Amino acid sequence: MKTCDVCKEPLRMMGKFKYADGYICKKCYKKASRQFTETIIKKSLQEIKELCGIERDEKSLEEFEVTGRIGNYLLIDELNQKICIPNNRMTNRQVSNPDFYNVEDIAECEIVYRPQMTLEELEEKTAKREEGTIKFLKIKITFKNKKEKKEICLIANPVRIKSYAFRQSFNFAKRMNQEIHRLMQESAEEEMEGGSE
């Protein structure tokens, strides 16, 4: 008898649900589909397991090899095409578990700050050590499934543009933005090459 790929319970005829790599039971389907609100047909076993809360951090950590890092904000694994956001004390009020993401799941990454101006304007102001304050500065990552987004907060309280603190945070933000876009680009190219074979 076939069993559920996640919990290994026997699969009933009417109670099995297909995902990309096989079948799971109704109980696991409920979790994997976030209470029946999402389809699972394109999800991999790893994704399904994560949604069911199994092997989440252990597995992700196991498969994560740090090949690059930007401060304490972002870890990069080029081999497995993943990023890790450590959720450290600096960026969050509470310490929480690190978050792992597949580069291929990232839809967009941008630097967000107020007051609004173009990145070039902000760079010029910074270079010229101009007066003025920035209310907040963060990296916003949106994912292809639309339901999730992640923010890496670099500045949460107003700081002067000409301060060292701002320049340093701004540099981190630009590097993260650049690095994530580079990884996204590579991931997209790889996908195209794979598709033409």
Interacting residue ranges for Zn ion, rule: CB under 5 A: 4, 6-7, 25, 28
Query: Cα(172)–Cα(179) distance, rounded to whole angstroms?
Result: 10
Q: Is 180 exposed, middle or buried (0-12, 13-18, 19+ CB in 10 A)?
A: buried
Identity of the residue, 10 or 68, whose beta carbon is nearer to Zn ion in the bound complex: 10
When the beta carbons of 41 and 192 are compared against Zn ion, the nearer one is: 41
C-beta of 28 vs 152, nearer to Zn ion? 28
Sheet order of strands, 106-114 included: 106-114, 136-143, 149-155
CB of 4 to Zn ion, least distance (A): 3
CB of 50 to Zn ion, least distance (A): 14
Burial class (CB in 10 A: 0-12, 13-18, 19+), 99: middle
The amino acid at 22 = G
Q: Which amino acid is at 119?
A: L
Compare residues 54 and 117 and give the one whose CB is closer to Zn ion.
Answer: 54
Token couple for 38 = 């999402």
**Closest approach of Zn ion to the CB of residue 18, in Å:** 13
Cα dihedral sign, 159-161-163-165? positive
d(CA 148, CA 19): 20
Q: What phi, psi does 102 have (nearest 5°)?
A: -80, 135
Both tokens of residue 75? Answer: 């870890």
Closest distance of CB 26 from Zn ion, Å: 8
CB of 14 to Zn ion, least distance (A): 14
Query: Which is nearer to Zn ion, 40 or 173 (by Cβ)?
Result: 40
Closer to Zn ion by Cβ: residue 19 or 101: 19
Q: Provide, rounded to whole angstroms, the least separation between the CB of residue 145 and Zn ion.
A: 22
